[in-house]
Amino acid sequence: MSAPTIGVLAVQGDVREHAAALTAVGARPRPVRRTAELDGLDGIVLPGGESTTISKLLDVFELFDPLREALAQGLPAYGSCAGMIMLANRILDTRPDARHLDALDITVRRNAFGRQVESFEADLEFAGITDAPGAAPVRGVFIRAPWVEEVGDGVTVLATVPPGAAADPRADGRVVAVAQGSVVATSFHPEVTGDLRVHEYFVDLVRR
């Protein structure tokens, strides 16, 4: 599979940036707004945005249940920020009517790092990307980001917040990137940094 077709959920969020990153690492991105656009995908990206709005728009486009079923059937997925929230099966500090896709056995807390003015960046060690000697850290951009409070037995922790990176000391050591089978999620936004390694990690997973 030299150039996998990767959908980018295109109901809200930074769709264009993810599509550009996918193209740069050798995938064929496809915007997904309708059920029929799930057909033939090798994987899908769920961008950042506002998770409760995304869940409502998925219902509006009659896409929520078909996407959830595709994920349950093994469609590889990568979610960033709100995408991580959507992929989780337990969400804290969300609205009662918010829905999620139950593709990751994790508990996520929405807006865990605080408001927009408390956004920050940090250099992260990322398992599978920064393991090699001399590898540069992954730059994480956190914007009203979630963090992971609990992971299930089948979930691999890929990255955590280094001590002192965020203004709130409660952020130290929090889980901000995970994988479970063919599903990957980060609470930060690699699509805005120009570092393509997280997208390359996901596309390589899809190829495998």
- Contacts with 174 (C-beta within 8 Å, 6 or more apart), sequence order: 112, 147, 148, 149, 160, 161
Indicate if the pLDDT at residue 102 is higher than 80: yes
Indicate if the pLDDT at residue 129 is higher than 80: yes
> Which listed residue (17, 18, 37, 81) is catalytic?
81
> Which listed residue (17, 37, 191, 200) is catalytic?
191
Greater model confidence, 47 or 166: 47
Greater model confidence, 204 or 165: 204
Tell me the residue length of the chain: 208
pTM: 0.94
Contact call for residues 42 and 6 (beta carbons, < 8 A): yes
List the binding residues for L-glutamine. 49-51, 110, 143-144
Residues 10-42 pLDDT 10s: 998 889 999 999 999 999 999 999 999 999 999
Contact call for residues 88 and 100 (beta carbons, < 8 A): yes
Number of domains in the chain: 1
What does the pLDDT average to over 148-156?
Answer: 96
Is 125 tagged catalytic?
Answer: no
Residues spanned by the domain of 139: 5-207
- What pLDDT does 169 receive? 80
Residue 97, domain CATH: 3.40.50.880
User: Coil, helix or strand for 166?
Assistant: coil
Half-sphere exposure of 75 (CA within 13 A, CB side): 26
Is 191 tagged catalytic?
Answer: yes
Greater model confidence, 168 or 17: 17
Is 100 tagged catalytic?
Answer: no
In the structure, what pLDDT confidence band is assigned to residue 118 with cuts at 50, 70 and 90?
Answer: low
**Is residue 133 classed exposed, middle or buried when 0-12, 13-18 and 19+ CB atoms within 10 A define those classes?**
exposed
List the binding residues. 49-51, 110, 143-144
